[in-house]
A and B are shown apart, each in its own frame.
Chain A
Amino acid sequence: MQADTLSGGFAAPPVEAAHAFRAIMRVMARPGTIEDVAGATPPAPLSVAAGTVLLTLCDPETPVYLAGTADCAGVRDWITFHTGAPLVTRAEAMFAIGTWEALMPLDDYAVGTSEYPDRSATLIVEMERLEATGARLTGPGIADTAALSLPESAAFQANARQFPLGLDFLFTCGDRLAALPRTTRVEAS
């Protein structure tokens, strides 16, 4: 275990987690908005935002899947030490983290059941850039329309068609955070 495994957590967990959760809740309630989050400094290749989301939402009750380059010893040790979350395959995961390419295909993740649609995975997508431009978004949480630089449109349209089942997405880039719940209707710009 490396020394940096032990560092990079919240300095004041109750307060930093509270601020981070408010940001996560705001972006999930208002698809397309982008918020800054801070608190965690996870090992590469995880972003500050992704690390902060993991520390805020994950614990021994939430199986996590690491996709692609995120599945490295440094990240595995860091998540295990700071959250205690079990690291699992994509079918068992409540949270999955990685780049869009690494997280694909989406078919294997839990989308919930018709009686318990909440038993579905949340995907944390690490992005090269995250801006309020691009695909046009409408739906709950959006007064008129919103826009977000999504990696593609077709996958999110297919996901929304499964409603009330489906996956929910958090997008992270540096210390920036956005979200796309299953209810949002996506049109390519």
Chain B
Amino acid sequence: MTDYNFAYLDEQTKRMIRRAILKGLAIPGYQVPFASREMPMPYGWGTGGVQVSAACLTPDDTFKVIDQGADDTTNAVSIRKFFEKTAGVATTEETARASLIQTRHRIPEEALSQDQILVYQVPIPEPLRFLEPSELETRKMHSLEEYGLMHVKLYEDISQHGAIATAYAYPVKVEGRYVMDPSPIPKFDNPKLGMAAIQLFGAGREQRIYALPPYTQVVSLDFEDHPFEPSKADYDCDLCGASDSYLDEVIVDDAGGRMFVCSDTDYCRSRRAAGHVGAQGAPYEEGAA
């Protein structure tokens, strides 16, 4: 740890990121430009989230990283080890014990408390980017609150598919002002965005930071006759039997066999430890994979 400044980044970089975070909290949903640094991992692997985490971590923190809900995937393990090494922080896989959680594309199933911070890794922060490629134009659209294009896109979904077909990165309006990309979380997670924890979003390649203070009004865009519906696979978890959690579909053989399991591995583990068993689950054993 003596080879690095605390939490890897130099202090001037952290101050720059910290100022961006504070302005982000003061203007919820607005994307604050920041001078993103090269990190020792490729763009697309969470460099924005890592920089925001580095600027927020203190030595007293307990750090958790999830990738699509899982604590044990490559990206999550690498980032957790990165901060174990450079910040010397304690790490955990238990949602309730973590003071700072970095996430890629999920919100934990367990409700977060006001003492926790959730840091999102964001690939494309601009919700209008696939509708309007020019940054000059999208910036002007945000300044003029000109979001008609987004509603046209959702309307075209309905006219083509009969329903709004956007299933992840579902756009939201924050405090009645800014349209925001909640990062590619499933729309199942959108109703949790008004949570008690501080939410910070970091996009490294795109050099943007934005934020949601606790209890911010976050509304998923919809139409009166086609209201927003959070959705998930219509099954229970095959390991823990949960009917209320977001599920991953896992192909288990070449004969079309499949199972649905909780995407939030810690939620599934804690339910199995509490004695819940799903249709294909075995009783939980401590330490068993």
Contact = CB atoms under 8 A, between A and B. Distances in A.
B22 A14 contact: no
B140 A168 contact: no
A24 B30 CA distance: 19
Contact of A28 (B14, B25, B30, B143): B25
A145 to B, nearest CB: 11
A140 to B, nearest CB: 4
B63 interface: no
Given A18-B6, A61-B16, A164-B178, A118 B198 contact: no
A103 to B, nearest CB: 17
B217 interface: yes
B55 interface: yes
Contact of A140 (B18, B19, B139, B213): B213
Given A25-B198, A30-B213, A57-B19, A15 B59 contact: yes
Contacts of A25: 18, 21-22, 25, 56, 198
A21 B56 contact: yes
A56 B15 contact: yes
Interface string A104-139: 000000000111111010100000000000000001
A117 B27 contact: yes
Given A18-B59, A29-B213, A30-B214, A181 B25 contact: yes
Interface size class for chain A? 35 or more
A100 to B, nearest CB: 19
Interface in B6-32: 6-7, 11-12, 14-16, 18-28, 30, 32
B215 A18 contact: no
A29 B198 contact: yes
Interface in B51-71: 55-60
Interface string A21-63: 1101110111000000000000000000000000011110110
B216 interface: yes
Nearest to A26: B198
A34 B178 CA distance: 28
Nearest to A61: B16
B6 to A, nearest CB: 4
Contacts of A24: 18, 22
Contacts of A61: 12, 16
B139 A183 contact: no
B177 interface: yes
B110 interface: no
A182 interface: yes
Contacts of A116: 33
Contacts of B55: 21
Nearest to A168: B26
Nearest to B177: A164
Given A118-B27, A163-B177, A140 B215 contact: yes
21 contacts: A13-B11, A14-B7, A17-B11, A19-B60, A21-B18, A21-B55, A25-B198, A29-B211, A30-B213, A30-B214, A56-B15, A57-B22, A115-B139, A117-B27, A118-B23, A140-B28, A140-B212, A141-B213, A143-B196, A168-B26, A183-B213
Interface of B: 5-7, 11-12, 14-16, 18-28, 30, 32-33, 55-60, 114, 139-140, 142-144, 175, 177-178, 196, 198, 211-217
List the 6 closest A-B pairs by CB distance, nearest first: A141-B213, A14-B6, A181-B26, A118-B23, A114-B143, A140-B216
